[in-house]
Amino acid sequence: MSDCGSTYLLKVQLAQSNSAESDAFGASFYNVAKSKSPPSGFYWRVLQVDAIDTNPNAQALEFVLIPANKVPLTSELPISIPVKELFKRFLSSIRICAGHSEANLSDLTLLKSIDGSFAAPIQMDPIIVPPGWCIAAFELTASAINHRVTLRLWFVEVPIGTEIPF
């Protein structure tokens, strides 16, 4: 039997995490949602990332790659702190891109991820998440409305040292 070139099975996942799972959420905070980290010996090749904000008003969002142990808690980000101080809490991160929500939906640049489209910046410039790192989404718009942010991440989990064919 001939070898078709597939010596391993790719693990593709669509994972959701929200600001309520790991921390306080609601009114008077800049909500933060973070993904889990790849297990030891594996990395993630991110295919799509987006976030849904349950606040009915437009919210500015930021998406970052950050060490999992450096993500600030939502409860540490009251809306009373200035945005400049908010960004200081993410100094360990690598900015992926900005996004914004609109009426309980979200888009990254101009493509609405809720409609199943791919996030444009990730298609041409893939994001690799190593063990110990995660993807986080956080709000830049202060709000006194009770709400939360949900991060959605679609990725392929690959053993370190293994190349993927795309």
Domain ranges (residues) in the chain: 11-159
Residues above pLDDT 90, as percent of the chain = 23
- Cβ contact 142:86 at 8 Å: no
Cα separation, 36 vs 148, in Å, equals: 18
49-75 pLDDT, tens digit per residue, is 878 777 777 778 888 999 999 999 888
Whether pTM > 0.85 for this model: the answer is: no
Of 63-77, 88-102, 113-127, 150-164, the one with minimum mean pLDDT is 113-127
Its CATH class, for the domain covering 11-159, is mainly beta
With contact defined as beta carbons under 8 Å apart, do 161 and 39 qualify? Answer: no
